[in-house]
Structure formats: C-alpha cells, structure tokens
Structure 1
Amino acid sequence: MADGADPAYLAGATAGLAYVHRLLGRYASAVRHFERAAELARMAGNVNCLVYATNGIGVIELEQGRVEPAMERFSQCLHVSRDAGYRPGEAQALRCLGQSHRAHGDYEAAADCFRQAASISEGLGDRLTATHATCWLGDVLVRHGAQWEGRRLLARALWTYREFGNLWGEAATLYSLAEAQLVAGRVAAARRRAEAAADLWRRIGSRTWLAIGLDTLAKAHTLAGDTAAASRARDEAAEVRRALATTWLT
C-alpha cells in the first residue's frame, strides 16, 4: 500500500475493479482483487466493503457452479451484516442466498430469501435494490408454478430497471420473462425477450450471462421450428463459454 493511502478508499476502489473483472468473466483476477479489497476493508474496519467483497467472491463461485462454497460466503456476509446492523448487506446476502437456492431448484426457499431481501430494501427506501430481489422472486415463482404472479412481478421489475437505466437488470428481467413465456407456451414472445436479453448482455460485456441467455434463445428457436437459428444461438453460446475458459486465469 502506498504511503499515506487511505485503506478504506483503496478497499472501495479495489472492490469496484474486481466487480468489472467479474462482469467480464475474468474470474481469477476478480477474486484476487476482491480478496485484496476484503483485506483492506478489515484494516480500515469497513464492514460495508468487507461484505461487498466477500459477497463478490461468492457470486463468482455461484456463477462457476460451486453452489455450496458460495452459500458459505453468503451466510458469512449475512451474519456479519446482522451483527453490524448493516441492513443493505443483509439484503444483498439474502438475495444471493436466494440465487443459491434457485440454483439447487429449491424455489420455495429461494422465494423466502427474495421476499426478505425485498422487504429490507423497501424499508430502506431503496427501490432499485428492492427490484433486484423482486425480479428474481418473479423468476422463481414462475418456476414454482405461480406463473401469473411471477410474470406480474417481472413486468414491474422491467419498468423499474428501465426507469433507472439499469441495463444488467433489464437484461436479467427479459431473460426471466423469456423463460416465463416458454413455460406459458408463447414461443414468439419468448424469442423476442430472449433476443433482447442477449443483445443487452453483449453490449454490457457480461459473457457468463450472455451464454445463459443464448441457451434460452436456442430453446425458443427450437420450439418455433427454426433449427438454423437455434444452431446459431447454441454455437454462439459455446463460443462464449470457450472464450470464458481461456480468460478465467487472467
């Protein structure tokens, strides 16, 4: 650390850099920066940044399919946040625990986490963060059979994300709406939503989620009988994942 440098400032800056690397799929570099940010946050006594950095490593583990280690990170963040009375961190940890349960297919537990997170964020007057929870609550409700309520929450989340100009959230909601339309048998609508989600993730550079969105687009094309388009979507998803594999160690 440079002489005179403020560890709290460096922790925040390093965590921000880690986030960018995670978004681009440069996971090894992101983990190094998150770990450094966590170290600096401990030195500075900055619980907020410590929780953010620890949570960031958990998200990387979750995106790599390591659900149990991810849940351990998120549970740690939840305990630290509650002990410190840091409500935004508590909401963040609950959202990520919800995503972990979603990955396991435990939609009831996921919905409970998302509802708790949304309630905390709404109590803080944070509409955008509450939308992060209600978007995925809508997703798991659709998957758990409550299609109408799930689609209603997703539609509301889409408008909020567009109001705030949050492109990643908009893409995530469009992806979830595409999956919901597939469940409802509305293939044309599913294709439109999936194409829009993939376009946004390309613009953002979020390659991990682009590949996921392309998988959904391929399913929609297949159900529509457009095998050539489905093949193109699957090929692009495979290419994105190959590129991610080559950049993982950077």
Structure 2
Amino acid sequence: MAKQNQTDKISQKSPLFGLGHYSLAVFTCILLLSESVVAAPRQLSPDFPEKSSQIAQSSEQEKTKTAAARFMQEGLELFKQGTVESKRRAIAKWEEALSLYRAAGEKAGEGVILFGIGRTYLDLGESQKALSYFNQSLPLFRTVGNKEWEAKNLLKIGQTYYALSENQKALEYFNQSLPLFRELDNKAWEASNLWGIGRTYNALGEKQKALEYYNQSLPLSRAAGEKAIEAFTLLDMGRIYDRQREKEKALTYYNQCLPLFQQVGNKTEEATTLNYIGFVYLDLKEKQKALDSFNQSLPLWQQMKSKAGIASTFVGFGLIYYDSGEKQKALNYFHQSLPLFREVGYKPGEAANLWVIANIYDSLGEKQKALDYYKQSLPLFQQLNDKTKIAAILSNIKRLSP
C-alpha cells in the first residue's frame, strides 16, 4: 500500500490534529488562539482618546477572531466527512481562517491553521504542499513558546519526509521531536514518534533497529490506549518477520493487530492484514485457512472499491487453486487480477501476474499462450531490474520459440 495512506491513519478519533485532542480538538485550538490574550492583560492608557481607540481596536480583533474560529469549525466539519472533495473544501475554509488570524496578529492561531492545512495535504498525498505549510507553522509555535505543538510539527515534518522517501531527513526531524515529547511526558505522541523512527529504519533496510524502536513504541501505545498506533506497529513487525521467512512469528503479530484495526474501524488495514494472514497460511500449506482469510478480505475491498486490494485477493485465490492442482480455476482468478493491476498502474503486480499465467499455460502444454505471456512480462521485469526473473523468462522464451 502506498506509504502516504499508511502514515496518517494514526488517530481515528481526531483526524485533523492527530493524537490526544479527540472531540475537544476545536476547543483546544480556540484556547491556543486566545492564549496571548489570557496571558497578558491589556495596559490601557489614562488618556481617554487613546483608551477609546484601543477598546475599538480590541473589539474589532475579537470579531476577526470569532469569524476565524467559525471558518475553522466549518473546515473541521468538512474534514470529518473524509472524502477527497470535502478535505479540499476544508482547506479552502481554513485559508479563510488563516487570513483572519494573520489580520488579528494571532500567531498561535495562524500556526494551528497552517498545521491543519499541512496535515490535510499530507492525507491527500500532496507531500510537498504539506511540507510547505509545516515549515511555516513551525517557527510560529516556537515564537509563542508552545513546545507541544512544536513537537507535533517536527513529527509531521518527519512523516512528510518519510512519505517523500527522504529517510535521513525524516530521522533528523523524528530525533528532534522525540525528546520534546519525553519532556512533555506525552506517551501517545512518543509512541507515534518511536513508530515513525522504526518504520524509517525499516525503509532503510535496518530491520533490527526498526524492531528495537517498534518494541519501545508498543508498551507506550498500549499504556496510552492508542489502539491505532499499536495496530500499525504490530503490523509492521509482522511484515518484517514475514519477509524474514519467520511465518509463525509473523502470524502472531498479524493476529494481534487484526482485532485492533477492527476496533478502530480501519477497514483498509483490516483487509490488508487479512490478506497478509491469507498469504502466510498459503506458505504454511494451510489452504483452507488461507481461503477463509481471503473470503473475509474480499468484501471489504469491494466495499471500499479498492482495485489494488481486490487484485491482491484474487491473486491469493489463484495461488490456492494453483497449489491444489485446479489450474483452470487459478487462471480464472489471475485473468481477473491482471487488468486491475494495470488499471492502478502497479507494475510489480502486473509483472508477477503475467509470469504466473505464463507458467500455468506452460504447465498445461499451451506453448503459444505461455510464450505470449512470457513476452508480455519481460519488459516489465526489465523495468523492475529483476535479473533472476529476466534470465528465467529469456530461457523460457528460447525453449518455447519455434
């Protein structure tokens, strides 16, 4: 799955501002926006005209802040609808709020709105735009001396660089935010931070370091009751063990994260985990259990209209029937998954699909069909620079060519 979509499903409770503020997110923002007013009582001059001018100015500022808060609330309601269109409309509302907070000189409010817009662009997969907004909000949080929001901002910049595959930069920002969360004793965000470091090391191929950070994150997310972070951490650990061919260990982690994704209502990761479980059972030669997992994931993918998810599940069904010797049934599923991989532009899936179809036709003695599919798969494996597959395909083409 795309990184972007994984990185930012962390808090199902408070999608805009992340962990910790839940249903009071908007009120927290409003408190932040009025922080400077509460902290510093106005000093009015004894000169009447000047006093009158200041009162009028103050009244005007309050009206501006009230209007900004209204746009902020309207934007949040749109964001909560969860569609791409509603999120873009939310950004438009927050841009209105942003100009008003700037007019009122409310730096804390300006920072929170910039952060929210950046967070939304990150959700939408527009990482460069997100980075631009986070880089604007960070100095504002530092100016008003709000370490909590500074730490959150640093973490989000780290997540954005991770989404951009700039892993060293991601680590640089994660390592700045982590000590701040520890100083603030914010276990939930510390857990998220550690998970971010772990998956960055995972992306860098440093699996043991990744596991060390995941193991630090888990007890914190559990203590804070952050089931979404706990679930993602367990899923990532399962993937590492899966790739290391420690299938039983991988299955243990997948079976721990599955009910958590179900509890937080994350259907995408629930379906993804069911597919992982299905493929592990396939490797373990427990075909009925694999079939059960794929039969659970398919309706979820169909409900979400995820072509990539449906394609992956069809591959699972195809492999089960192929291993069972029911090659025509297997072909039926592979022929259904192939156009879906093409529609979503997933070249590794398309290449592997063509390779398997070619192999099945080869085993059935349908040489011309096998040759056609080998030839279709070759340029894709060349693009992917898979030298092992390229060599095998060239050998098969030579063998089958008249």
TM-score by length of 2: 0.49
1:114 and 2:177 matched: no
1:239 and 2:296 matched: no
Q: Is the 8 A contact 1:92 1:117 kept in 2?
A: yes
Distance in structure 1 (CA, Å) of the matches to 2:183 and 2:254:
36
CA shift, 1:115, in A, is: 2.2
Query: Which structure has the bigger radius of gyration?
Result: 2
| Structure 2: unaligned runs, 5 residues or longer | 1-59, 243-248, 283-289, 307-402
Q: C-alpha root-mean-square deviation of aligned residues, in Å? A: 3.0
1:110-153 Cα offsets, whole Å, 9 max, x none, are: 23312211212333444444343233233334444213312222
2:125 is paired with a residue whose SS is: coil
Moved more, 34-43 or 52-61: 34-43
AA aligned opposite 2:278 = H
CA shift, 1:236, in A, is: 1.9
Q: How does 1:1-250 map onto structure 2 within 5 Å?
A: 6-9=63-66, 11-12=68-69, 14-16=71-73, 18-19=75-76, 21-25=78-82, 26-143=86-203, 144-145=206-207, 146-162=209-225, 169-185=226-242, 186-202=249-265, 210-212=267-269, 214-225=271-282, 226-230=290-294, 232-233=296-297, 235-237=299-301, 239-240=303-304
Distance in structure 2 (CA, Å) of the matches to 1:224 and 1:16:
47
Distance in structure 2 (CA, Å) of the matches to 1:39 and 1:125:
34
CA shift, 1:95, in A, is: 0.9
Moved more, 217-226 or 227-236: 227-236
Q: Is the 8 A contact 1:139 1:154 kept in 2?
A: no
Q: Is the 8 A contact 1:177 1:193 kept in 2?
A: yes
AA aligned opposite 1:130 = E
- Aligned pair count? 228
Distance in structure 2 (CA, Å) of the matches to 1:13 and 1:210:
32
Higher relative contact order (CA 8 A, sep 6+): 1
- Relative distance call for 1:18 and 1:139 in structure 2 (3 A) is farther
Distance in structure 2 (CA, Å) of the matches to 1:128 and 1:50:
25
AA aligned opposite 1:233 = S
Q: Is the 8 A contact 1:134 1:157 kept in 2?
A: no
2:149 is paired with a residue whose SS is: helix
Residue matched to 1:247: none
Distance in structure 1 (CA, Å) of the matches to 2:112 and 2:305:
26
CA shift, 1:6, in A, is: 4.4
1:90-120 Cα offsets, whole Å, 9 max, x none, are: 2122111111122133333323312211212
AA aligned opposite 1:33 = K
- Relative distance call for 1:80 and 1:173 in structure 2 (3 A) is same
AA aligned opposite 2:133 = R
Distance in structure 1 (CA, Å) of the matches to 2:192 and 2:115:
15
| Structure 1: unaligned runs, 5 residues or longer | 163-168, 203-208, 243-250
AA aligned opposite 1:192 = N
Distance in structure 2 (CA, Å) of the matches to 1:192 and 1:240:
22
Q: Is the 8 A contact 2:187 2:224 kept in 1?
A: no
CA shift, 1:14, in A, is: 4.4
1:65 is paired with a residue whose SS is: coil
- Relative distance call for 1:227 and 1:135 in structure 2 (3 A) is same
TM-score by length of 1: 0.74
